[in-house]
């Protein structure tokens, strides 16, 4: 019996086996339509079993109800396969349109189901197991043709849009399915619907696979191009800082007799160098280094604001590691968007505390007078906060909180499981 089944469905089973292997090989990739193709494979496999039931019933004189059940399932599955082909080729996103498309299938489904109890509506079988067409025998074929026509209209549409490769494949599927359905229902050929269905699935899934791998290759090429651009930018960024630093050092050497100018240039050089050093360098730095950069920056701002800017430090330790530019942007935010925006300036207070779980660093802006912050300043303030949060999120060991206070905001950075500079340890 099994041998007879394999002989009767040999070609279809070979095609389905090939499709199954393709699906298994691509199981980890996200090729569009994979699940639909897998479901269609199972339906076609089930149809091969249905096709084998008729000669089996005749040979072993099985009850006629098995043939009626077999016919019902085939009349349900044949249009369903074309609907799934349509969904595979042209997914319908609007729910109301999806429901409208299913109307012909629903009518066919009900009529075929009724044939189980009123033999002769779609088909019937005589005592010799002979097939007899019913009064609505054309309904399943018309339903299939309706969905094939939809596929044809879709192929014309995509051809009009210039997608020639996809339209050719869909047109082939339409023509091959139409010819097979016509020849099967006219009785000129028998047992080839399943083969054609399996072949169509393989062709279109191969097309989807080609598209997917083409997109992957394109993304890879785009990534390589982006990497090349970034490498070029990094190279330029490395060249320009050397020139700027060397120029500043030369100017600084000439200003040694003017202490204020000399000190300002030294702070400015430190500020620039601290930022340039972080280009392309993901390694953490010590809080001592971060604090030196902060002090250089605040010394420069102190020149601009004079007595309007006061700075206070309350630091317990400086030898722990943290992502570069974690605290400094918060200090810059405090000066530019809080102190500078107040009538009488204010105080920037930097506090660092060692805790059992790690470290807490706070930047307080304590303003004097009314705060006059523009929308542009508020937006820039948000950019600095987002950048700090992004740095802290890289290793997942830190967080940033903004805590409103009476005369300003406290930006609190919490670092857990901090590492310390080699040669030092937590006390």
Write out the two tokens for 371. Answer: 């705060």
Please tell me the predicted confidence (pLDDT) of residue 427. 44
Domain-located, residue 265: no
Name the nearest CA neighbour of 154 among 87, 242, 218, 94: 87
Name the nearest CA neighbour of 141 among 168, 161, 111: 111
Write out the two tokens for 102. Answer: 């299913």
316 and 184 together in one domain: no
Q: For 186-241, give the DSSP string.
A: TTSS-S-HHHHHHHHHHHHHHHHHHHHHHHHHHHHHHHHHHHHHHHHHHHHHHHHH
The CATH number of the domain holding residue 184 is: 1.20.1070
Name the nearest CA neighbour of 315 among 352, 364, 361, 355: 352
Please tell me the predicted confidence (pLDDT) of residue 349. 95
84 and 207 together in one domain: yes
Inter-axis angle of helices 193-254 and 10-25, nearest 10: 10
Please tell me the predicted confidence (pLDDT) of residue 278. 67
217 and 318 together in one domain: no
214 and 318 together in one domain: no
Q: What is the pLDDT of residues 33-51, one digit of tens each?
A: 788 888 888 888 888 888 8
The CATH number of the domain holding residue 352 is: 3.30.565.10
Please tell me the predicted confidence (pLDDT) of residue 181. 76
Domain-located, residue 146: yes
12 and 160 together in one domain: yes
Domain count for the chain, please give it: 2
Choosing from 222, 245, 268, the residue where a domain stops is: 222
Name the nearest CA neighbour of 11 among 202, 174, 187: 202
Domain-located, residue 216: yes
Q: Is the full-model pTM beyond 0.85?
A: no
65 and 165 together in one domain: yes
Choosing from 197, 222, 247, the residue where a domain stops is: 222
Return the sign of the alpha-carbon dihedral for residues 349, 352, 355, 359. positive
Residues of the chain with pLDDT under 70: 1-2, 5-8, 191, 213, 229-248, 252, 254, 276-281, 369-381, 423-427
Please tell me the predicted confidence (pLDDT) of residue 360. 96
Please tell me the predicted confidence (pLDDT) of residue 281. 64
> Residue 427 and residue 424: Cα distance in Å, rounded?
9
45 and 183 together in one domain: yes
Domain-located, residue 39: yes
336 and 216 together in one domain: no
Which residue's entry shows tokens 């989807």?
208
308 and 216 together in one domain: no
The DSSP call for residue 304 is H
180 and 84 together in one domain: yes
Please tell me the predicted confidence (pLDDT) of residue 401. 93
Which residue range is the domain that position 102 belongs to? Answer: 2-222
Choosing from 178, 198, 222, the residue where a domain stops is: 222
Domain-located, residue 88: yes
115 and 214 together in one domain: yes
Domain-located, residue 246: no
Q: For residue 352, what is the enclosing H or E element? A: strand 346-354
Domain-located, residue 94: yes
Q: What is the pLDDT of residues 287-301, one digit of tens each?
A: 999 999 899 889 888
Domain-located, residue 218: yes
218 and 332 together in one domain: no
Q: For residue 314, what is the enclosing H or E element? A: strand 309-315
């Amino acid at each position: 019996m099994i041998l007879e089944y394999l002989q009767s469905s040999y070609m279809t089973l070979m095609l389905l086996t090939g499709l199954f292997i393709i699906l298994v090989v691509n199981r980890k990739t996200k090729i569009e339509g994979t699940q639909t193709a897998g479901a269609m494979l199972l339906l076609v496999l089930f149809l091969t079993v249905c096709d084998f039931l008729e000669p089996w019933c005749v040979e072993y004189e099985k009850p006629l109800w098995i043939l009626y059940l077999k016919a019902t399932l085939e009349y349900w599955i044949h249009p369903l396969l074309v609907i799934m082909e349509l969904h595979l080729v042209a997914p319908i996103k609007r729910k109301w349109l999806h429901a409208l498309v299913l109307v012909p299938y629903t009518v066919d489904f009900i009529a075929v189901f009724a044939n189980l109890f009123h033999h002769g509506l779609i088909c019937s079988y005589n005592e010799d197991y002979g097939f007899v067409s019913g009064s609505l025998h054309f309904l399943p074929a018309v339903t299939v043709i309706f969905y094939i026509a939809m596929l044809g209209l879709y192929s014309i549409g995509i051809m009009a849009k210039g997608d020639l490769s996809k339209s050719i494949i869909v047109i082939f599927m339409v023509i091959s399915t139409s010819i097979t359905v016509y020849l099967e229902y006219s009785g000129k050929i028998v047992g080839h619907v399943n083969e054609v269905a399996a072949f169509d699935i393989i062709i279109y899934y191969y097309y989807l696979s080609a598209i997917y791998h083409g997109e992957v290759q394109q993304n890879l090429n785009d990534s390589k191009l982006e990497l090349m651009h970034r490498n070029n930018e990094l190279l330029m960024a490395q060249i320009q800082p050397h020139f700027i630093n060397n120029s500043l050092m030369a100017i600084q050497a000439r200003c040694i007799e003017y202490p204020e100018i000399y000190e300002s240039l030294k702070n400015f050089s430190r500020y620039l160098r601290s930022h340039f050093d972080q280009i392309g360098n993901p390694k953490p730095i010590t809080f001592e280094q971060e604090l030196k950069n902060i002090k250089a920056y605040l010394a420069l701002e102190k020149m601009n604001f004079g007595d309007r800017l006061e700075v206070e430090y309350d630091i317990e330790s400086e030898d722990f590691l943290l992502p570069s530019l974690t605290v400094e942007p918060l200090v810059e935010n405090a000066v530019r968007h809080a102190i500078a925006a107040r009538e009488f300036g204010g105080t920037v207070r930097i506090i660092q505390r060692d805790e059992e779980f790690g470290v807490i660093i706070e930047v307080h802006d304590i303003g004097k007078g009314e705060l006059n912050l523009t929308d542009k300043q508020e937006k820039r303030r948000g950019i600095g906060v987002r950048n700090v949060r992004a740095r802290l999120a890289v290793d997942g060991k830190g967080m940033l909180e903004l805590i409103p206070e009476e005369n300003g905001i406290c930006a609190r950075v919490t670092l857990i499981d901090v590492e310390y500079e080699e040669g030092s340890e937590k006390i």
